[in-house]
Amino acid sequence: MNVIETKDLYKIYNSTQVPVHAVNGINLIIKKGEFTAIVGPSGCGKTTLLNLIGGLDSPTEGKVFVSGNDLCSLKSTRLIDFRMHNIGFVFQSFNLIPVLTVKENIEFIMQLQGRSRTECNQRVDELLEAIGLPDKKNHRPNQLSGGQQQRVSVARALASKPQFILADEPTANLDSKATNELLELMEKLNQEEEMTFIFSTHDERVMKKARRLVSLDDGKIIKDLSL
Amino acid sequence: MIWRISWRNIWRNKVRSLTVMMAIAIGLTGGIFLTGLMNGMSAQQANDAISLEISHVQIHHRLFADNLSAQFLIEDVAGKLEVIRKDERVRAFCSRTKAQAIASTATTGAGIIISGIVPEMEKEVTTIYSKIVEGSYFEKENKSASIVIGQKLAHKLKAGLGNKIVVTLQSLNGEMSYALFRVGGIYKTSNTRFDEMNVFVKSDDLNPVLGIDPSQTNEIAMLTASHEAAIPVAASLKSSFDKLSVENWRELRPLLVVISAMTDQFGFWLIVIILLALIFGIINTMLMVILERKHELGMLMAIGMNKKRVFKMILLETTMLSLSGGLVGLFFSILLMGIFGQTGINFAAWAEGLEAIGYSSFVYPFVSARFYLIITILVIITAIIASLWPTRKALKLNPAEAVRSE
Ligand SMILES: Nc1ncnc2c1ncn2[C@@H]1O[C@H](COP(=O)(O)OP(=O)(O)OP(=O)(O)O)[C@@H](O)[C@H]1O
Ligand SMILES: [Mg+2]
């Protein structure tokens, strides 16, 4: 089954003087285990598309299916629950809750999901090992570097066992070393845990790591390359 | 986890949170202390009225209260006192003859109420003897009968210690009678109106003038083990003496009950008004909090915090913030009450004005445990009300907008 499928997806912003077609008729299918980068110049609609796929925003027209579920048909409370159980998010910034420790941040959603204490502890240790930060368990986010924070964000997204992880410019604030480390981590998780990743970027080095490149311009797919 | 987030969030901006807490603490302490003072004053007034004037229970002829006339008598006093003596809940008792009269000196006269007492028994029941400022309370035996009057009346009659006072009253057979007394003592209570009206003589000196014989009296007063004990004692005496009027202090002075109920109300509404003012400060703070954490809240809603949880988080933060301030306020209040409840506060500067309306100038503030509980509940209600608007604001955040970093 397709993890994600969009059908004639449009997002038009009318709040401005001239309506902006941020997403302008996109049909996109993402299969399980893909490692896809959405690329394109600034303002081409990457964030808008990811927000539509992630159910954070509703399309002007068209549909988004996640594992066959039509996101538009879900009421807002159901949609939030759906996001919690099925979609992992990594944002460019403001990913972590500053008053919680690394461990607490990672297990936060698991607790909302009602997982048991032992399961949470076990998964946190596992994930901290995977992101290479077992010694930072009880640190607060502001005691970590930007790259470390993003790795914790990936762990947090992964902890809830989602269908896929959406990452909107996860490396935008990182230097090249941290960018590499984060991508290696995502690749590893993609291969070892078969986690589906969709991320946006306009960084050449990040694009090179992707196994599928979807290029956008003016809200349309202009190129779709499998590498 | 949400509890933990809320609690830690309070301490993200320590200065701001502490400012709000102090505002709440100071507001509550002020309100509670004022209420304590009011309580102290009304309790003092009740205590004074009971210990000086009305005692816990009084017995009269049914018609006595309406006319205050010596002709309405209690017969067989000794028999009645025997019944009262047998009641273990009664601490002390006495009997008095009582009449309206006119007191005159060479210069002027004044309407008074004269009580004929048995000093030894009276001392057990009322504390007038301890309020003597000049002379004594029927201690020196003089040739002429002595009278104890209030300071206010002494001024009014321009009568000093040892001066003559002529008391004019109507005897039982309807004739006007005169009696000569010498001022043996002058007392001063915290109620000047009482001092102006009430004079005391020995019943042995007064009864013959009135034509009352020793087996008769006008008033029997008693003290019971406590203020509360007066109510059942009065009830059981009522059934023993069904032809007489038996009243407890609440019935004798309904105003005391009204004042204490009013004080309670006053305290409650004072706190409500203070909290109402504080609500706006709390709302303002929480709105700032929401604005500052726009991105974070958007992220939380994106990753799966539903409306109920967002509400819970903000509500908890507001409640814990307010309650912390409230507890500090309660702590200070209890401390202040502990100190001043022991030492009392002297309002000497206003003594004259206070005493004119029957209040003592020395006040021992107190509030009940129930009042503290009510305040705690009110603070929680305040926090809930104060968190509604900020929560609404938070829930209106669009996660898609909020997570976009500018
Ligand atoms: N709330 C909005 N109201 C009006 N126009 C908007 C709104 N949000 C985004 N847009 C417009 O939609 C278009 C697509 O924006 P989007 O943020 O998706 O681009 P992007 O590819 O993510 O850009 P960047 O690389 O700078 O992040 C832009 O032209 C933007 O100005
Ligand atoms: Mg973007």
Alpha helices in chain A (DSSP H): 46-53, 76-86, 102-113, 117-130, 146-159, 176-192, 204-209
Domain extent at residue A149: 2-226
Q: A80: which chain B residues are within 8 Å (Cβ-Cβ)?
A: 301, 304-307
Of B296, B301, B399, the CB nearest to A97: B296
Report chain A residues whose CB lies below 8 A from the CB of B297.
none
Helix spans in B293-398 (H) = 294-303, 307-343, 351-356, 369-396
The confidence score (pLDDT) of residue A16 equals 81
Ligand nearest the Cα atom of residue A216: 1
Residue A57 Cα to ligand 1 middle (Å)? 13
pLDDT per residue as tens digits for the range A178-194: 999 999 999 999 999 89
Residues 12-31 of B with CB under 8 A from A: 12
Q: What is the CATH number of the domain that holds A156?
A: 3.40.50.300
Q: Does the beta-carbon distance from A77 to B304 stay under 8 Å?
A: no
Which residue is closest in CA terms to ligand 1's atom 7?
A13
Q: pLDDT of A54-73, one tens digit each?
A: 999 999 999 999 999 999 99
Q: Which residues contact A57 (CB under 8 A, 6 or more apart)?
A: A11, A48, A51, B398, B400
Q: How far is CA B34 from CA B91, B245, B357, B395, in A?
A: 34, 39, 19, 40
Cα distances from B133 to residues A3, A31, A91, B184, in angstroms, run: 98, 103, 85, 11
What's the pLDDT band for B155 if we cut at 50, 70, 90?
very high
CB contact (8 A) between residue A95 and residue B299: yes
CA of B270 vs chain A CAs: smallest distance (Å): 37
Residue B219 φ then ψ, to 5°: -145, 135
Q: How many domains in chain A?
A: 1
What ipTM was reported for this prediction? Answer: 0.93
pLDDT over threshold 90, residue B225: yes
Q: Is the pLDDT of residue B405 over 70?
A: no
Question: Does B143 score more than 80 pLDDT?
Answer: no
pLDDT tens digit sequence for B178-205: 999 999 999 998 889 999 999 999 999 9
- Sign of the dihedral defined by the CA atoms of residues B137, B138, B140, B146, in that order: positive
Q: Which pLDDT value is given to residue B357? A: 67
- Residues of chain B contacting residue A156, judged by C-beta atoms under 8 Å apart: 303
pLDDT of A47 strictly over 90: yes
- Residue A191 Cα to ligand 2 midpoint, Å, equals 26
A13 Cβ closer than 6 Å to some ligand 1 atom: yes
Ligand sitting nearest the alpha carbon of A202: 1
Ligand 1 in reach of A20 Cβ (< 6 A)? yes
Average pLDDT of the residues of chain B? 91
Rounded to two decimals, what is the model's pTM? 0.82
Q: Within an 8 Å CB–CB cutoff, is residue A226 touching chain B?
A: no
- Give the list of residues 6+ apart from residue A191 with CB closer than 8 angstroms, or none: none
Give the number of other CB atoms < 10 A from CB of residue B304.
22
Q: Which atom of ligand 1 is found nearest the CA of A45? A: 18
pLDDT at B402: 81
In short, whether A179's Cβ falls inside 6 Å of ligand 1 is: no
Query: Are B296 and A98 inside 8 Å of each other by CB?
Result: yes
- pLDDT over threshold 70, residue B358: no
pLDDT tens-digit map of B339-355: 998 888 887 767 677 66
- Whether B301 has its CB under 8 Å from any CB of chain A: the answer is yes
Chain B touched by A99 (CB under 8 Å): yes
Q: Which of A104, A95, A94 is nearest to A124 (CA)?
A: A104
**Residue A43, ligand 1, Cβ within 6 A:** yes
- CA-based torsion, B135, B139, B140, B142: positive or negative: positive
Residues of A in contact with B295 (CB under 8 A): 93-94
Q: Which structure tokens are listed for B109?
A: 């006269």
Give yes or no for residue B308 having a pLDDT over 80.
Answer: yes
CB atoms within 10 A of CB B343: 10
**Beta carbon of A44 within 6 Å of any ligand 1 atom:** yes
* C-alpha to C-alpha distance for A151 and B45, rounded to whole angstroms: 72
Mean per-residue pLDDT for B203-212? 93
Residue nearest to atom 28 of ligand 1 (CA): A43
Class of residue B1 by CB neighbours under 10 A (exposed 0-12, middle 13-18, buried 19+): middle
Residue A203, pLDDT > 70, answer yes
The alpha carbons of chain B give a radius of gyration, in whole angstroms, of: 31
B296 touches chain A (CB under 8 A): yes
Can you give the pLDDT at residue B406? 55
Find the mean pLDDT for residues A167-187.
Answer: 93
Mutation site, A84, A112, A140, A142, interface B, largest B CB count within 10 A:
A112
